Amino acid sequence: MAQSLDDSQTQPVHNPSGPRKVNKLMVHIDRDLCIGAATCLAVAPKVFALDKDAKAVILETAGEATDEMIIDAARACPTAAISVTDEAGRMIFP
Ligand code: SF4
């Protein structure tokens, strides 16, 4: 049985899809674009999960992933819902 995600796993609770700083990257999921395809979870399971609305959120364990994994997950998203910028605000993806 799939484990359900409680709010304590998706910090900050008021803004679970970001924008959120993860290591040297700023990660943001556009909840309007996210269709819950879960590709990002497959690529970077420590970074992304789906909430009860089937929208991707950023996990507390996101910092354990490499920048490469996060960028790969953004690239893999079928709707390009995940945007990634660097510390200087430069767009890395899309
Ligand atoms: S891959 Fe994209 S559409 Fe699918 S859950 Fe992740 S952010 Fe949403």
> Does residue 68 lie within any of the structural domains?
yes
CA 73 to ligand 1 centroid distance, Å? 9
> Does residue 85 lie within any of the structural domains?
yes
Whole-model pTM: value is: 0.85
Look at residues 45, 38, 46, 48 and name the one whose alpha carbon lies nearest to residue 18: 48
Average pLDDT over residues 67-93: 97
Q: What angle do CA 21, 62, 80 make, to 5 degrees?
A: 75
Give me the number of domains the chain comprises: 1
Of 47, 48, 69, 72, the residue with max ligand 1 atoms within 8 A of its CB, to mutate for a pocket test, comes to: 48
Q: Is the peptide bond before 16 cis (omega within 30 degrees of 0)?
A: no
The pLDDT assigned to 5 comes to 66
C-beta neighbour count of 24 within 10 angstroms: 9
The CATH code of the domain that includes 45 is 3.30.70.20
φ, ψ at 85 (rounded to 5°)? -125, 160
pLDDT in tens, 9-58: 555 567 899 999 999 999 999 999 999 999 999 999 999 999 999 999 99
